[in-house]
Amino acid sequence: MVAKLQTVETTELTADRKGVVTSKIKAQGFIGLPLDVMPEESIQAELVSLDVLNGPKLPTGGLNLMYGVRNTVVEMSQFNLAARRSGHQLCTYEVTFRVQRDSENALVLSDLPLVNYLHLQRLAQDTRDLVEQYWRKFLADDGYSKKQINTGINWRHMTFVASHPHYIDRLQETEEFKHIDLFVYPVTYSAGQTFRAALYNSKIVESIHVDRFAGLKPILPKLPNG
């Protein structure tokens, strides 16, 4: 089965802690079903990650999601083509989930323990510095020399993330970031850059509504945070 989520709306609910707001995010997704499945048929489909563009390795520890309206416009044709080639039809669904996020769009390190949503493009410098320390550690763990790390890597924050998004899995396992349930990150492909999200906790999903296939029950996968 094929599934993707795409953020289409964010609604601020409360500002119950300094620098942090609780938000609801509505998203759309696509599920690939066999061509002979009828709309009224009672079936279950587990949501799984699918990548249809050639690019860097994505995180595998969570459920990879599409993020942003523009990304669907860019990638929808690839989804349709991939579905047809594999003998599937696409149906859409809407998902609503709740997150605690930074209210200033520049997360400072002191607020990190208070949020469960991390947009890697929207970090204050002290938070970026901590994240970069981990990127350097992960590269060293993977056998990169100090010279390679210091001189052979483009350390512009978003450039590194966009070309090494698989390190988000390891970042999520660290003490400072293990409570983060949803990461948003850029990915660079040959055709340009897009944004994705990596979901690590199905408990923040409030509801999933499936279009047209009334008998379909979507099943969220088991994720690290629940």
Whole-number pLDDT of residue 17: 54
The pTM assigned to this predicted structure is 0.85
**DSSP secondary structure, the chain, as one string:** -EEEEEEEEEEEEEEEETTEEEEEEEEEEEEEEETT--TT--EEEE------S--SPPP-SSEEEE-SHHHHHHHHHHHHHHHHHTTEEEEEEEEEEEEEEESSSSB-GGGGGG-SEEETTSB-HHHHHHHHHHHHHHHHHTT--HHHHHHSS---HHHHHHH-GGGHHHHHTSTTTTT--EEEEEEEETTEEEEEEEE--GGGEEEEEESS-TTEEEEPPP-TT-
Whole-number pLDDT of residue 15: 52
Whole-number pLDDT of residue 5: 44
Token pair, residue 43, equals 């079936």
Whole-number pLDDT of residue 8: 44
What are the residue boundaries of the structural domains of the chain, listed by start?
2-219
How far is residue 219's CA from residue 214's CA, in Å, rounded to a whole number? Answer: 14
Q: In a structure prediction context, what are the per-residue pLDDT tens digits for the chain, which is 226 residues long? A: 444 444 444 555 555 556 788 988 776 667 888 889 888 899 988 887 766 666 789 999 998 877 876 555 566 677 777 777 888 887 777 778 899 998 877 999 999 999 999 999 999 999 999 999 999 999 999 999 999 998 888 888 788 999 999 999 999 999 999 999 999 999 887 767 888 889 999 999 998 888 888 889 988 889 999 9
Whole-number pLDDT of residue 122: 92
Task: Give every CB contact of residue 218 below 8 A, 6+ residues apart in sequence.
Answer: 3, 31, 44, 45, 46, 47, 93, 208, 210
Whole-number pLDDT of residue 1: 41
Beta-bridge mates of residue 25: 10, 97
